[in-house]
Chains A and B, each alone.
Chain A
Amino acid sequence: MVEASTDGLTAEQILSEAGAPVIVFDQVQLAFDEQVVLKNISFTLLGGHTKIILGASGSGKSTILKIVTGLLHADAGVVWVNGERVDRLNEHEMMAVRADLGMIFQEGALFDSLTVRENVGYKLYEESDMPIEDAHRRVEEVLGFIGLGEYIDRMPSELSGGQRRRVAIARAMAFKPRILLYDEATTGLDPITATTVDEEIVKLRDLERVSSLVVTHQLRDAFYIATHMAVRGGDGKVKVVPATREKERQAEFIMLRDGLICFEGDADALRQSTDPYLRTFLS
């Protein structure tokens, strides 16, 4: 948390410090008509850390991510993102917060009238002053990361489900947001591609200091992200290696059940938990 020696610092400086909270949920509630989806959700994501949200289908994981981006509004409770009370912001004010938020939607949500290039570069081409050549270069670079360079001129309808998912990831990271929200980014991918995506999540977190909120059903990927870290070796090459104990503690799991958080802790705590519901979920 923020140290006592914060005197004289602006809110911006405090927030840009490592370990400052970037997303805070305080007693958030949300209901769709009569159906209460979130009863009382509180958690904090620190800068450069990872929160992995687990929970059964329909437990409200995607809903939490949509509240973070201001696409849905909580009925009650306080939501801070990057130092802004997003529960109080209107749509126009929210745009400034979203400049630092990248979201990967569960179904990809690619614009199906645009090519892969236009999708990935959407924000750079439409919503920034970046010169067009720089935007092209960035799009090609990001598609290279994700291994889809040769698909740049295709339409989304001409891609496989997994390729669409990867384009969605590329679109969210293209404008270098400092917070990334992944909604089932690896679901439906083969294990090798899934690991590539996991490594990308780890690299963005450890090398670019991106804070991540990861929603997933795939425990394999959840544990991979929680127990690995990216380091730059002496030769400048980036390697993904098993995390140190300290690094592991920076990735926390949250388990949702009946609109409440029924477990919160790191990978070790989750493995050692004896709660019967957690055990069935993990097995």
Chain B
Amino acid sequence: MLPFIGSRLKQAALEVQEYVRLDLATFYALFTRPRYTHDIVEQFDVIGVGSLTVVLLTGLFTGAALTSQSGVTLDQFGARPVVGRLVSASMIKELGPVLTALMLTGRIGSGIAAELGSMVVTDQIFALRALGTDPIRKLVVPRVLAGILMAPVLTVISDFVGIFGGWIVARFQLQVASGVYWSSVTQGLYMQDVWMGLIKPFVLGFAIVTIACHVGLRTSGGTQGVGRATTVAVVAGSVAVIAADFFVTQVILAVLY
């Protein structure tokens, strides 16, 4: 039993070490030449534009459901008119960043792991290196750039449609006047909340993409291995999103509030 635990711990430590190594190499490559501009543009399109539909839908329904639920709770205090305040605060600080990140993990994390994994098992990564290309610059950097810059953009979009979804429910289900809803949306917002809502997706986007790249590039064991890598990327990515969200919240609360 003990040797088993020991070997698992050693393996986990090795995995973390490799992940940190990839992160460091990526940082170095981010700020030095050569850059593959064409691939960077392509990844912005794949990761950013490609994720728009899922993000719009999740944002809209989350905001709507949140408003319905909050309406019931607030009625107990006779505070139904301030529902907008609750919706905007929850969406911008917590639900928008986390749900967008989770959707991105499912969509982008799995895609990256599958693509890089199949490049590994078909020797395409070897071929890249043999042709003089650093796979980190060619494959990882464009995805990381797109991830850390598009995650905040998508989150902001998700926040907006969420609050809009909330408005539909507030107006037609809870019978709150539009003017009351929108003024309470803005009243409940502080600058710190906006920062919180922007810094979080930046960190989460980085985590999702780097974990997926790490898992994909370490794929072994043929097509079966690619399937395994895809699952691991989504599971590890989702857990990392939730955990990182908690820690980033603590840091921002300590620093900004």
Give A residues with C-beta under 8 Å from B.
Answer: 66, 69-71, 91-92, 95, 98-99, 101, 103, 105-107, 109-112, 122-123, 126-127, 171
Contact = CB atoms under 8 A, between A and B. Distances in A.
A210 B131 CA distance: 17
Contacts of A66: 126
A171 B132 CA distance: 13
Contacts, number: 51
Contacts of B129: 69-71, 91, 98
Contacts of A71: 126, 129-130
11 contacts: A71-B130, A91-B129, A103-B127, A103-B130, A105-B126, A106-B123, A107-B122, A109-B122, A123-B132, A126-B131, A127-B133
Interface string B125-146: 0111111111000100000000
Contact of A126 (B36, B122, B123, B127): B36
A69 to B, nearest CB: 5
B45 to A, nearest CB: 14
Interface residues of B, number: 14
Given A91-B134, A110-B127, A122-B131, 8 more contacts: A71-B129, A91-B129, A95-B132, A99-B132, A106-B123, A109-B124, A126-B36, A171-B131
B127 A105 contact: yes
A81 B129 CA distance: 16
Contacts of B36: 126
A109 B132 contact: no
B77 to A, nearest CB: 56
Nearest to A71: B126
A109 B127 contact: yes
Contacts of B124: 109-112
Contacts of A126: 36, 131, 133, 138
Contacts of A98: 129-132
B126 A111 contact: no
Given A71-B129, A91-B129, A107 B134 contact: no
B155 to A, nearest CB: 28
A122 B138 CA distance: 12
A183 to B, nearest CB: 10
Contacts of B132: 95, 98-99, 123, 127
B57 to A, nearest CB: 28
